[in-house]
Copies of this chain bind each other. A is one copy, B any other.
Amino acid sequence: MADINSKLEIPLPGGHFDVTTGPIRGSKKIHVGPLGVAMREIHLEPGSGEAPVRVYDTSGPYTDPDVTIDIAAGLAVKRRDWILARGDVEDYAGRAVKPEDNGQLGPDRSGGVPAFPNVARRPLRAKAGMNVSQMHYARRGIITPEMEYVAERENLGRAMLKEYARDGQDWGAAIPDYVTPEFVREEVARGRAIIPSNINHPESEPMAIGRNFLVKINANIGNSAVASDVASEVDKMVWSIRWGADTVMDLSTGRNIHDTREWIIRNSPVPIGTVPIYQALEKVGGIAEDLTWEVFRDTLIEQAEQGVDYFTIHAGVRLPFVPLAAKRVTGIVSRGGSIMAKWCLAHHKESFLYERFDEITEIMKAYDVAYSLGDGLRPGSIADANDEAQFAELYTLGELTKRAWAQDVQVMIEGPGHVPMHKVKENMDKQLEACGEAPFYTLGPLVTDIAPGYDHITSGIGAAMIGWYGTAMLCYVTPKEHLGLPDRDDVKVGVVTYKLAAHAADLAKGHPAAKVRDDALSRARFEFRWRDQFNLSLDPDTAEQYHDQTLPAEGAKSAHFCSMCGPKFCSMKISQEVRDFAAKQNQPSTGFIAAGEAGKLAISEAEAGMVRMSKVFKETGSELYMGAGNREHD
């Protein structure tokens, strides 16, 4: 079988771009409804009698064989017509790119990153006095195409599942059986969900972040001053959405920030987030004290014009909170938070992000950039979890949420960090209380500090739990966290780990359609449909590869046993016999006593039927092949 994850190579002056294209193994891209909402469908073995399973698809046109990808041109701008049709935007000359946007200060700081060749468009912004945020439309009762798209996308196969029993503990969420465009509008209007959708990022496929929708995940990429280049960052973006990243944050620092971001946004079908203070700091030569409102404001405009969908703004790091971090084991671990803390201390002034918050909001609403209110004082160790600094900031973020909402600007709230399991729920409860159910967006949290190299897992535990409790988006952590920059493999492991955590949360919350995929995979497993089992998994390639390490022959793909138990110990096979036997009885209670919940049995009553039943079993299942199955250890 040809490698389905084919690489598309794009030689360009100054760079050589490879991105992964082609369908995900076993999946077919489909487009649903009048808006052509992209999904993927996993088709199962024809003989299985199973319907195709529809899954949420973040991978964009890269997995669509009908689309020709041209990295140098960028993706199609499907959403642009919707934006223009609303009649509330204007195009304008836009801000000229300056050398310092790419960190070109002083001698020998020139590029290395080719400029994106297709920056032809004049940027859009709201006409004077207008507000183009999805929240603004929602509050005026307008259902936008973006909201319709989200409704279709979130439902997946839900319409087919009317009789599927709801089963979950949703901790007070309000998850509907079926998502209507009106439901999406209501959720956005009340601030309980956001649809990050900068009008200058018309390439994006609309998606919602909110506790009554499927739990989302974010992947971080970005150059650093020490390592990496733009081609590998574009590749990481495409690679991360292939495996399920719902949004991507470009956390580049150092040089070439502007150009790197342009390449990423123009080729991204998912919302892009940034932390503008990083670039602002580069513009002042890395000296935190030299930051000014003017430089920061200029950076917001620059990035809003490029199409960044949400900004992390650390406006909750207020001067009075800074000393609270002094007694911590790990102080301030947020870069943005520490930059602002240093600025506050140096000037002994209140943060300009806090003081100018309403002015920032004015910019956000002109482009529909959503706030991701940064938790600059999140705990960086178990010792610092849930402390005074953290919660002082959280309540400030709640105050700022209301100020942003007063201007109809979309908001989500960033959360920790490092938190032991017994303190995770308090984070969610306090966030819901302080921030009026604005979507919570957490980094993990890591539930122990002692496993560097495995922090995708320490954080995946906390992420699954807090996702269950109500967090709307989980920011991934890769195995390299605390140690180095993630490479391509790390990005994939991080994304898949967070997809499984998010899905576990959806299951536990009782999302109506979440269990469909688990059940389909489990049936495939029980029936030894190996290909279906691989294709239904979050990472079909790895599943197949692991299987083949022990039983590589193609014939083993249809074998009714596996390498764990070999051809003699198959619990699955025996189970099938049990099932067949019971089915043939028609009266399964004959001869058996139903087991009460307490397991209290009147066995003696059963004995009468035993000899007869033994005879029946031998007749129906005589000389049963004792195959082998999915070993679960004993």
Least Cβ distance of A508 to chain B in Å?
Answer: 4
Query: Does the CB pair A483–B547 fall under 8 Å?
Result: yes
Q: Mark A560-574, 1 if CB is under 8 A from B, else 0.
A: 001111111111101
Does A288 count as interface, using CB distance less than 8 angstroms?
A: yes
Least Cβ distance of A175 to chain B in Å?
Answer: 13
576-617 of chain A: CB within 8 A of chain B: 576-579, 581-583, 588, 591-601, 603, 606, 609-615, 617
Q: Mark A487-522, 1 if CB is under 8 A from B, else 0.
A: 100000000110111011101111000010111011
Does A412 count as interface, using CB distance less than 8 angstroms?
A: no
Q: Mark A320-348, 1 if CB is under 8 A from B, else 0.
A: 11111111111111111111011001111
Of the candidates B320, B334, B568, the one whose C-beta lies within 8 Å of that of A603 is: B320
Q: Mark A367-381, 1 if CB is under 8 A from B, else 0.
A: 000000010001011
Query: Does the CB pair A348–B617 fall under 8 Å?
Result: yes
Minimal Cβ-Cβ distance residue in B for A591: B348
* Interface size range on A against B: 35 or more
Query: Does the CB pair A504–B458 fall under 8 Å?
Result: yes
Least Cβ distance of A501 to chain B in Å?
Answer: 7
Query: Does the CB pair A454–B496 fall under 8 Å?
Result: yes
Docked CA distance A597–B326 (Å): 17
Query: Does the CB pair A323–B626 fall under 8 Å?
Result: no
Query: Does the CB pair B339–A454 fall under 8 Å?
Result: no
Docked CA distance A522–B629 (Å): 44
Query: Does the CB pair B547–A484 fall under 8 Å?
Result: yes
Q: Which residues of chain B come closer than 8 Å to A599, judged between CB atoms?
A: 391-396, 398-399
Does A191 count as interface, using CB distance less than 8 angstroms?
A: no
Docked CA distance A275–B536 (Å): 32
Given contacts A457-B460, A591-B348, contact A575 B537 (CB under 8 A): no
Of the candidates B324, B522, B601, the one whose C-beta lies within 8 Å of that of A595 is: B324
Does A634 count as interface, using CB distance less than 8 angstroms?
A: yes
Of the candidates B333, B501, B624, the one whose C-beta lies within 8 Å of that of A632 is: B333
Query: Does the CB pair A461–B458 fall under 8 Å?
Result: no
Does A448 count as interface, using CB distance less than 8 angstroms?
A: yes
Does A363 count as interface, using CB distance less than 8 angstroms?
A: no
Query: Does the CB pair A335–B485 fall under 8 Å?
Result: no
Query: Does the CB pair B453–A526 fall under 8 Å?
Result: no
Least Cβ distance of A492 to chain B in Å?
Answer: 11
A127-135, A221-229, A298-306 - interface stretch: A221-229
Query: Does the CB pair A575–B496 fall under 8 Å?
Result: no
Docked CA distance A89–B484 (Å): 57
424-466 of chain A: CB within 8 A of chain B: 443, 447-454, 456-458, 460-461, 464-465
Least Cβ distance of A243 to chain B in Å?
Answer: 11
Docked CA distance A360–B370 (Å): 66
Of the candidates B286, B453, B507, B592, the one whose C-beta lies within 8 Å of that of A421 is: B507
Q: Which residues of chain B come closer than 8 Å to A504, judged between CB atoms?
A: 420-421, 447-448, 458, 461
A197-205, A246-254, A401-409 - interface stretch: A246-254
Does A91 count as interface, using CB distance less than 8 angstroms?
A: no
Of the candidates B341, B450, B518, B611, the one whose C-beta lies within 8 Å of that of A348 is: B611
Q: Which residues of chain B come closer than 8 Å to A538, judged between CB atoms?
A: 450-451, 453-454
Query: Does the CB pair B396–A588 fall under 8 Å?
Result: no
522-579 of chain A: CB within 8 A of chain B: 522-523, 525-526, 533-534, 536-539, 542-543, 545-547, 549-551, 562-572, 574-579
Of the candidates B574, B597, B633, the one whose C-beta lies within 8 Å of that of A341 is: B574
Minimal Cβ-Cβ distance residue in B for A169: B422
Q: Which residues of chain B come closer than 8 Å to A598, judged between CB atoms?
A: 395
342-366 of chain A: CB within 8 A of chain B: 342, 345-350
Of the candidates B275, B288, B332, B546, the one whose C-beta lies within 8 Å of that of A453 is: B546
Does A240 count as interface, using CB distance less than 8 angstroms?
A: no
Does A21 count as interface, using CB distance less than 8 angstroms?
A: no
Does A74 count as interface, using CB distance less than 8 angstroms?
A: no
Query: Does the CB pair B286–A522 fall under 8 Å?
Result: no
**Can you identify 14 A-B contacts, CB atoms within 8 angstroms?**
A320-B594, A323-B578, A325-B579, A329-B522, A329-B526, A331-B578, A348-B614, A389-B595, A420-B507, A454-B538, A456-B457, A457-B460, A479-B546, A484-B547
Nearest 6 interchain pairs by C-beta:
A331-B575, A395-B599, A225-B566, A348-B614, A392-B595, A381-B522
